[in-house]
């Protein structure tokens, strides 16, 4: 995913406190039965039939040459209601790491114009996937180029992708990503030939 300008998180809270709130208030019982919303575009069944299909669709829909419009309805159709995208970086070039939390709609608005104006091709070069029941997590290593024909990527990193199957299809719950840096090179186990290859 393309990193956008970061702002420090507005607030934080402990997981322990959240767990206590959930248990005491019975929030779980109030969960909606379906992750879909009336406003959400319908997905192509082929895009959401498997973990491989939905991750492939995520990369495909954001990629294209300069001047090529992206199908943002297709992009939105991949995400569960309430999904988040979170680039990680150092706001203002400082020493403190932070993440910026945005929605799929905000990603389309913030990053869309740049992707379409400058060209952007992101490809997965390696993946390590863990599954349990109807939830899954993928560490998806990517390379990004302005044009598919560029010999070298201008950046690479790891997309941490959380997914859920509601019994009828797969949904992206969250994409949390970090671009590679000199102080955090991608470990060999997350590169081609590494773990799970």
pLDDT value of position 15: 42
DSSP the chain: ---------S----HHHHHHHHHHHTGGGG--S-S--TTSPPPPGGGSSSHHHHHHHHHHHH-B-TTPPP-HHHHHHTEEEEEEEEEEE-GGG-S--EE--B-HHHHHHHHHHHHHHH-BEEEEEEEEEEEETTEEEEEEEEEEESSTT-SS-SEEEEEEEEEEE-SS-EEEEEEEEEE-BTTBPPPGGGSTTSTT-
Domain annotation covers residue 31: yes
pLDDT of residue 62 exceeding 90: yes
Domain annotation covers residue 155: yes
Domain annotation covers residue 195: no
Please state the rounded mean pLDDT for residues 175-193. Answer: 96
Domain annotation covers residue 170: yes
Please state the rounded mean pLDDT for residues 115-120. Answer: 95
pLDDT value of position 87: 94
Please state the rounded mean pLDDT for residues 11-34. Answer: 44
Query: For residues 71 and 34, which has the higher predicted lDDT (pLDDT)?
Result: 71
pLDDT value of position 194: 82
Domain annotation covers residue 41: yes
What is the domain-level CATH number for residue 25? 3.10.450.50
Query: For residues 19 and 131, which has the higher predicted lDDT (pLDDT)?
Result: 131
pLDDT of residue 168 exceeding 80: yes
Domain count, the chain: 1
Domain annotation covers residue 174: yes
Domain annotation covers residue 196: no
If you average pLDDT over every residue of the chain, what do you get? 86
Domain annotation covers residue 107: yes
Give the structural domain span for 66.
15-190
- Weakest mean pLDDT among 33-37, 96-100, 179-183: 33-37
pTM above 0.85, yes or no: no
pLDDT of residue 38 exceeding 50: no
């Amino acid at each position: 995913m393309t990193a956008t300008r970061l702002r420090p998180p507005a607030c934080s809270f402990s997981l322990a406190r959240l767990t206590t709130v959930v248990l005491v208030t019975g929030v779980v019982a109030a969960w909606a039965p379906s992750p879909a919303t009336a406003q959400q575009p319908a997905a192509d069944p082929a895009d959401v039939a498997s973990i491989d299909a939905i991750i492939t669709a995520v990369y495909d829909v954001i990629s294209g040459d300069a001047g090529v419009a992206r199908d943002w309805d297709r992009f939105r159709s991949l995400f569960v209601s309430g999904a988040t995208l979170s680039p990680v970086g150092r706001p203002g070039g400082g020493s403190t790491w932070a993440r910026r939390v945005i929605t799929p709609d905000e990603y389309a608005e913030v990053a869309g114009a740049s992707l379409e104006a400058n060209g952007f091709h992101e490809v997965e070069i390696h993946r390590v996937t863990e599954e349990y029941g109807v939830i899954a997590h993928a560490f998806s290593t990517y390379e990004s180029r302005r044009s598919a024909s560029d010999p070298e990527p201008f950046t690479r990193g790891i997309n941490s992708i959380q997914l859920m199957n509601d019994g009828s299809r797969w949904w992206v719950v969250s994409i949390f990503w970090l671009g590679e840096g000199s102080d955090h090179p991608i470990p060999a186990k997350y590169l081609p030939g590494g773990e799970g290859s």
